[in-house]
Structure 1
Amino acid sequence: MKIMRLGESGSEQPAVLVSSADGHERYFSLLPLTADVDGAFLAAGGLDKVRKALAAGELPVLEEAAALRVGSPVARPGSVVGVGMNYAAHAAESGAEPPTIPVVFLKPTNTVTGPYDPAPLPPRSTQYDWEVELGIVIGREATYLGSREEAAACIAGYVTADDFSEREYQLPGAAGQWTKGKSLPGSTPLGPWLVPAGEIDGGNLRLRSWVNGEPRQDSTSSELIFDAATLVHHCSQYMLLEPGDVILTGTPQGVALSGRFPYLQPGDVVEVEVEGLGRQRQELFRARAAATAQTA
């Protein structure tokens, strides 16, 4: 069961993609159940309602769905929580020791975009980087959780994510700060779909990325230093996680920051994929700087 949001930006409609045993795929509208895939839908047991409605044949087929734009599978989250250096090999290529507690940062929620939308390079960016990540979608309120088991019960499902990062803005020197390097428009593509936590093993999924068709990253979520439940538990000690929020669990080795690959340029095509959660494709373009105001 793959939960999606289809249609033009700002007017997406909720849908579910179901694959039969013979590989045939069918899209069904979720409008009889909800106006959108958001926190309220998830908190109200929306995923279970979808299963029951599918089994009962109560959802209408969504005609021509394959021709529609694919949006983020969850509506704009209340929070996007990033986790840094959560793979030992990536920490090493970044010149850092593996962390002993999770490195946590926040991304503006207006960075979220669809999995195939064109990706803007900032006007003056010279060190724009890709990061394939496993994304956690929160399904119920989480605050001051007492155990990993409680945390696991708060996970609605998982998504593919790309945490585009501008390294010159992010890292120390010249006023570099993580927030500056992680907050750029269009820098958090999510999707193409959300898979419920009970239908996939989030602890053993292959993550890969490509730039212009050339392999870059290839790892598995089993190599995470801090797994999904640990991250939800940890974050809940410092912030209120709400249904629909997204946690990006960190990226494996193989990014441009390593020095082994060039940073992204206009016209480059980045693809990222998490096993079972779908592949994204973004073509980079140079965003235009705002015109300088004319003064009398």
Structure 2
Amino acid sequence: MAAMGLVTATPMAAFAQAGSLRWGSSSIGSSGYVILEALANVTNRNTELKGSVQATAGTTENFVLMDRDQLDIAHTTSLDWVAAKAGDKPFPGVIEANQLLCYTQWENPPLVMADSDIQTIEDLRGRSYSPSQPGSGSAAMARILFEAAGIIDDIQWVYGSWGEVYDLFGLGQIDAVHGVFTNGEPIGEVVKAEAAAPVRALEYSEEVLRAANARNAGIFSTELTPDTWPTLDRPIRTPGFSGILGADTRVSAEDGYAITKAILDHVDEVHKFGNLLHGVTLENAVAGLLIGHPVNAGAAQYYKEKNVWRDDLLIAGA
């Protein structure tokens, strides 16, 4: 999706001018990229805060860039929050940030061609697989899941932008790709792949999903159903994780309040950017926030004013 309104995607080397917000998204064409473009655009329109969106390698890199004071607001995932707080690999150490709002849930089954001889997760041994960029939440999730399945050392990893890896997948040069479904609906790259040739989703066992959750509580077991993806003939188990708008600890309560209010007071405007944004609601914004990780004090104030605050959540600085 092209840049919209006042928001433009810029190379990682070019940072916003002092005094403006620097938003980190993900690789160009990914769902995280599209979502952050929309949220930043709505914020620019409805506040005095102005900023630009930078395409990045993904959510893992975004946490590192916030820690280096090179991003203010970022696309993050529930699994990255758990790893960043613990200082687990690939992070260089403990990284602190504050939550603003939850904006989506992703479902992520591996996808293969319908006529592939790969029938199970275990059949991925010795095969090529791509989760897009190495610094993405998709890559972090895949590594945890494949480790839980006992096949981590047998995967041939291929990296690239979503467009690149799905093109290679369609040409038969990659055996399997990380499927991405937003609130149950396939992203554009999945739709495009299906238009060219039938694809099939692999199903994880409940045992593997439980083991992955024990390793990182930001990964959860969910279902993908024919209601939102008619390709399926039955519901399947799949790993999922949530998308959370993160803020560097330097982002003030005043700015956190303004951003949260701008987005959630204008959800109809947000939804106009497409199906990827239909999960943005006041209720979902709070329901998807993580226990044990601080919420920007301004965002917390907004939720209290709307009578949706959860007492099990932490307020930054409280």
Fold shared, TM-score > 0.5 on shorter chain: no
Q: Which has the higher strand share?
A: 1
Q: Which has the higher helix share?
A: 2
Shorter-chain TM-score: which interval?
under 0.3
Question: TM-score normalised to the size of structure 1?
Answer: 0.24
Question: TM-score normalised to the size of structure 2?
Answer: 0.23
